[in-house]
């Protein structure tokens, strides 16, 4: 090798470092702190503390607490979902949503590979097998084109549903995910699935406060799922919820998540196999109070996103923008680098300087539990996974 290309590489690397320094300086200025800056930390108010104490004082800390219903009502009001059933975490919500929708052994569930492992795990809990289709570069969520191409090629609509001609198995559900809080093209996905008689369950775990055409994410499919894990937009420590329109489904959700116990003054009658999935009152109390902060948190998260967008535009970086017709909650802001090399150098430089940045999850089709699962070409998924980086997105109140 002659000296020239090497020099060029050196030059590119030092230019990269200057850019990364400018990012680090920008984030420090944005958050006004010399502490390490995390990806997403929660904000707690004094009201949160007094509300949790109130739940303790009441002695009703389990799911019989009045706070469970009060938290669910607040979620109903905010999302405009007809019914909300809260459960112990988002994974349990996904599992129960699928269980309720008839997802079972020897069936298949279409989903995206770019997701947190919970989406895939919940499918496996039911005994079904995931099928991975590609994402759209505009939303980072399931691509309606990839979905319909897969169904056109391999789907066969029969009397009791659509079957995969390759495997002979029934396709029992489709689970798109609203990635990093950006709404996917859920209206198109719903249309396609309607044509093929496939139930849609939305993994809206990251999308509390995200809307598509003025409708809250999770309110399009038969069921939608939220998460209140510690790193999500609001938190109950751990927690999740199912959104739905049907009163019958709501009743079944409540029953099945409460060990299928038939209400009775003293008898323990459990009329079928149930789950102990109900959200405890302690967690619900925190959620009830956190809901009062939600509007403020969303405004603040939007401000941070807009600041990043401007910085990225001025500095030649590619910021993942709010999709068309959508209002994102900007749960985790994302930059798209030129390639893996630049991305890894960025991760190295920023983490070394106390600014937490992270690549997306390893896509599900590369994890041991899922490598044997059927998948279509995942060109966009692989490309995005190699180039994307999540950047600090906490509301600034978290550092005050
Ligand atoms: C957070 C999350 C979940 C649920 O996670 P829990 O920790 O079980 O609440 C599910 N799917 C996605 C995509 C998530 O980000």
Burial of 316 (0-12, 13-18, 19+ CB in 10 A): exposed
Q: Ligand 1 centroid vs 249 CA: distance in angstroms?
A: 22
Q: What angle do CA 93, 97, 99 make, to 5 degrees?
A: 115
Mean pLDDT over 363-367 rounds to 98
Beta bridge partners of 333: 391
pLDDT at 358 > cutoff 50: yes
Q: How confident is the model over 154-177, as pLDDT tens digits?
A: 999 999 999 999 999 999 999 999
Q: Ligand 1 centroid vs 125 CA: distance in angstroms?
A: 15
pLDDT of residue 2: 47
Q: Which atom of ligand 1 is nearest to the CA of 177?
A: 13
pLDDT at 327 > cutoff 60: yes
**Pocket lining for ligand 1, CB < 6 angstroms:** 89-91, 115-116, 118-119, 177, 203, 205-206, 227, 229, 240
- Residue 1: pLDDT band by 50, 70, 90 thresholds? very low
Q: Ligand 1 centroid vs 308 CA: distance in angstroms?
A: 25
pLDDT at 309 > cutoff 60: yes
- Alpha helices (H) in the chain, listed in sequence order: 3-31, 46-58, 66-79, 90-100, 117-125, 144-154, 186-195, 247-257, 281-290, 294-315, 340-352, 379-387
pLDDT of residue 400: 83
pTM of the full predicted structure? 0.95
Ligand 1 binding pocket mutation candidate from 87, 91, 217 (most atoms within 8 A of CB) = 91
Give the three-state DSSP class for 79: helix
pLDDT of residue 297: 98
Do the beta carbons of residue 128 and residue 103 sit within 8 Å? yes
Mean pLDDT over 76-97 rounds to 98
Q: Ligand 1 centroid vs 192 CA: distance in angstroms?
A: 25
Q: Ligand 1 centroid vs 160 CA: distance in angstroms?
A: 31
- Residue 19: pLDDT band by 50, 70, 90 thresholds? confident
pLDDT of residue 52: 98
Among 312, 303, 314, CA closest to 335: 312
Mean pLDDT over 298-325 rounds to 97
pLDDT at 4 > cutoff 90: no
Q: Ligand 1 centroid vs 283 CA: distance in angstroms?
A: 16
Task: Take atom 9 of ligand 1 and give the residue whose Cα is closest.
Answer: 90
Q: How confident is the model over 107-159, as pLDDT tens digits?
A: 999 999 999 999 999 999 999 999 999 999 999 999 999 999 999 999 999 99
Could you tell me the two tokens for 362?
Answer: 């390893």
Backbone φ, ψ for residue 350 (5° rounding): -75, -45
Could you tell me the two tokens for 79?
Answer: 């999302």
- Residues 204, 183: Cα–Cα separation, whole Å: 9
Q: How confident is the model over 175-204, as pLDDT tens digits?
A: 999 999 999 999 999 999 999 999 999 999
Task: Take atom 13 of ligand 1 and give the residue whose Cα is closest.
Answer: 116
Mean pLDDT over 342-357 rounds to 96
pLDDT at 3 > cutoff 60: no
Q: Which atom of ligand 1 is nearest to the CA of 206?
A: 15
Mean pLDDT over 22-39 rounds to 96
Q: Ligand 1 centroid vs 12 CA: distance in angstroms?
A: 38
**Percentage of the residues of the chain whose pLDDT score is greater than 70:** 96
């Amino acid at each position: 090798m002659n000296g020239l290309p090497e020099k060029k590489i050196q030059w590119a690397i030092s230019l990269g470092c200057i850019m990364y320094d400018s990012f680090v300086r920008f984030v420090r200025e944005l958050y006004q702190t010399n502490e390490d800056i995390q990806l997403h930390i929660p904000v707690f108010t004094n009201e949160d503390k007094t509300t949790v104490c109130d739940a303790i004082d009441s002695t009703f800390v389990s799911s019989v607490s009045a706070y469970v219903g009060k938290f669910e009502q607040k979620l109903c009001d905010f999302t405009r979902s007809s019914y909300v059933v809260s459960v112990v975490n988002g994974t349990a919500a996904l599992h129960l949503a699928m269980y309720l929708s008839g997802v079972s052994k020897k069936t298949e569930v279409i989903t995206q590979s770019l997701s947190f492992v919970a989406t895939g795990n919940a499918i496996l809990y039911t005994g079904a097998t995931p099928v991975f289709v590609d994402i759209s570069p505009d939303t980072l969520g399931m691509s309606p084109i990839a979905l319909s191409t897969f169904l056109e090629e391999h789907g066969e609509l029969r009397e009791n549903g659509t079957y995969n001609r390759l495997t002979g198995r029934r396709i029992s559900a489709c689970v798109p995910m609203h990635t990093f809080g950006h709404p996917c093209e859920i209206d198109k996905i719903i249309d396609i699935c309607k044509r093929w008689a496939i139930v849609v369950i939305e993994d809206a775990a990251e999308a509390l406060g995200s809307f598509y055409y003025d409708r809250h994410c999770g309110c399009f499919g038969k069921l939608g799922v939220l998460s209140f894990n510690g790193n999500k937009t609001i938190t109950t420590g751990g927690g999740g919820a199912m959104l739905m329109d049907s009163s019958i489904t709501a009743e079944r959700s409540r029953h099945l998540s409460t060990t299928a116990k038939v209400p009775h003054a003293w008898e323990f009658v459990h009329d079928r196999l149930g789950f102990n999935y109900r959200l405890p009152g302690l967690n619900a109390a925190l959620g009830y109070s956190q809901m009062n902060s939600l509007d403020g948190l969303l405004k603040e998260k939007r401000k941070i996103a807009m600041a990043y967008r401007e910085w990225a535009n001025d500095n030649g970086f590619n910021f993942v923008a709010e999709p068309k017709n959508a209002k994102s909650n900007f749960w985790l802001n994302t930059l798209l680098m030129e390639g893996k090399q630049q991305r890894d150098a960025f991760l190295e430089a920023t983490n070394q300087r106390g600014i937490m940045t992270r690549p997306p999850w390893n896509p599900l089709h590369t994890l041991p539990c899922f490598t044997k699962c059927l998948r279509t070409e995942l060109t966009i998924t692989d490309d995005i996974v190699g180039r994307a980086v999540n950047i600090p997105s906490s509301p600034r109140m978290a550092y005050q």
